[in-house]
Structures are given as structure tokens and as C-alpha cells.
């Protein structure tokens, strides 16, 4: 998201840059394809084929968000809580240990 914002193309993810209905939409098609390729390249290759045939980056973004939503995911919350309880510094530096533990919480 940081990279997409930096290139001022986040509207393709959010839908705020809709496909033009009149005139040449070549620029929109190119930029949409560019952002979609970034998005698809940022996920595991085994997951990307199911999204490749979608028409827009916004469609891909929403499908991924729905599939991997963190809302009401009690099993994952339980697993993260368990990881945090079992976390030990061991050979980790204090900064790495603290960062990892903070991320889990």
C-alpha cells in the first residue's frame, strides 16, 4: 500500500479512479494493469491464479480483503495469543524480541 500511495495510484485499489466510460481508456487500462501486477506479485504465487482473470485491481483488492479478513477470526486470535505466551527471547536480540512480541500483541 505504501508503494501504491507513493506512485499516486491508490485510486485503482479503492475504486476512486473508475474506468472512463467515454473516450480512450488506454491510460486507465495500463495503470490498472500495473497496479494489479504489483498486487498479484505481492502475494504467494500459489494464490495469485484465482485473481488473475478479474477485470480490475479494485475487484482483486476486495476479493483478497474478503478472503483474508481478520474480522471475527477467533481461531487466528487464539493462535497468535498462544504464540505470544510461548515467545522466548533465546538467541534473539532484545530489539528483535521486543519487536516480534509487540507485533503479536
Give the position of cell 487466528. 76
Q: CB within 8 A of 17, min separation 6: which ones?
A: 9, 11, 28, 31
What pLDDT sits at residue 70? 65
How confident is the model over 30-78, as pLDDT tens digits?
Answer: 999 999 999 999 888 888 888 988 989 999 999 988 877 666 667 777 8
SS3 21: coil
Say whether pTM exceeds 0.85.
Answer: no
What pLDDT sits at residue 29? 93
Q: CB within 8 A of 4, min separation 6: which ones?
A: 10, 12, 13, 35, 38
Amino acid at each position: 500500500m505504501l508503494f501504491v500511495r507513493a506512485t499516486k495510484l491508490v485510486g485503482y485499489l479503492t475504486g476512486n479512479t473508475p474506468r472512463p466510460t467515454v473516450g480512450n481508456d488506454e491510460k486507465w487500462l495500463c495503470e490498472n494493469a500495473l497496479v494489479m501486477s504489483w498486487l498479484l506479485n505481492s502475494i504467494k504465487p500459489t494464490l495469485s491464479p484465482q485473481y488473475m482473470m478479474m477485470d480490475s485491481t479494485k475487484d482483486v483488492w476486495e476479493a483478497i480483503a474478503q478472503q483474508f479478513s481478520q474480522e471475527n477470526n477467533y481461531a487466528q486470535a487464539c493462535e497468535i495469543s498462544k504464540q505470544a505466551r510461548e515467545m522466548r527471547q533465546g538467541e534473539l536480540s532484545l530489539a528483535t524480541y521486543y519487536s516480534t512480541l509487540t507485533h503479536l500483541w
